[in-house]
Amino acid sequence: MPELPEIETIKIGLRKYLIGKKIVDVEVNIPKMFVGKKEDILGAKIVNLKRIGKGLIMELDNNFVLAVHLKMTGQLVYRDENTKSQVLSKKVGGETLPSKYSHIIFSLDRGGVLFYNDLRQFGWIKVIKKDELMDVPFFKEMGPEPKVGDDIAGKELTIDYFKEVVQKGNLPIKIILMDQKRIGGIGNIYANDALFKAGIDPRRKGKTLTKKEIKKLYDAVFYIIKKSLQYGGSSDENFVNALGQEGNYQKHALVYGKKGQKCPKCGSVIEKIFLGGRGTFFCPICQK
């Protein structure tokens, strides 16, 4: 599932192409994935893009927004005359768009087209009045998130809040990190690598961490997220950026996806277990 760095990468990329463009038409091929009335957005101009946790928000000039949750395999890819020469990743479902995965297509003015692709069809796009956005459970229940860039639409993850959440936690620290109601935006990839960076065993209960360890983990979360943003996110699964190209963080991950390989710190073998049903990678020597 795309996590905070991937959605942030998409947001930044789409801002370059969508802001100022009008929505001319919307083609919906799978009705369950589009909630709301098309008539409420036709003719509206896109004025901004924001992100809350793993959710993307397109603000329109008529007091409506398009709220997007990519779920496991959703993609937002922009094409026009200036970008059509960009080579698409095979993850979009073909060499050209629309592909067999293109389920919602936004036609924009000046020849722009925005494709919503989704292999597994779990994602959604909702037309919502701007002042009702935070009534949507997905956004309303999102926990504070690490601030990246110059703006933050959701609640900011402070060290004081982070300490409180971790110290009260009677669950494995990795599960606490991934609980979107506690902390927004962090998923499996970055929880694994942040815990390795901080030298903390993912199985330890949150309440057993010392204040020093909590601060190390807090800093590690920000470090890993910023590192992923530098590499354009992770395309370990289906993620592509706003132009349909893959990110490269998966080539630079610390332990995620590296079962049986050597630990980059001590040279011992990285192990894999399952916590909360998710693959969990760690070094049994470096992480205590």
Find the catalytic residue in 21, 54, 91, 174.
54
Nearest residue to 78 via CA among 101, 53, 111: 111
Catalytic residue among 2, 98, 144, 172: 2
2 annotated active-site: yes
Residue 3 annotated among the catalytic residues of the structure = yes
Residue 284 falls in the annotated catalytic set: no
- Cα–Cα distance for residue pair 214/212, rounded to 1 Å: 5
By DSSP bridging, strand 23-28 and strand 102-108 are: antiparallel
Residue 204 falls in the annotated catalytic set: no
Rounded (10°) angle between helices 211-230 and 159-167: 120
CA 67 to CA 124: how far, in whole Å? 8
Instruction: Using alpha carbons only, give the angle 196, 199, 202 rounded to the nearest 5 degrees.
Output: 65
Of 22, 213, 278, 284, the active-site residue reads 278
Q: Is residue 167 within 8 Å of 206, Cβ to Cβ?
A: yes
Choosing from 3, 6, 8, 145, the catalytic residue is 3
Residues recognised as catalytic: 2-3, 54, 278
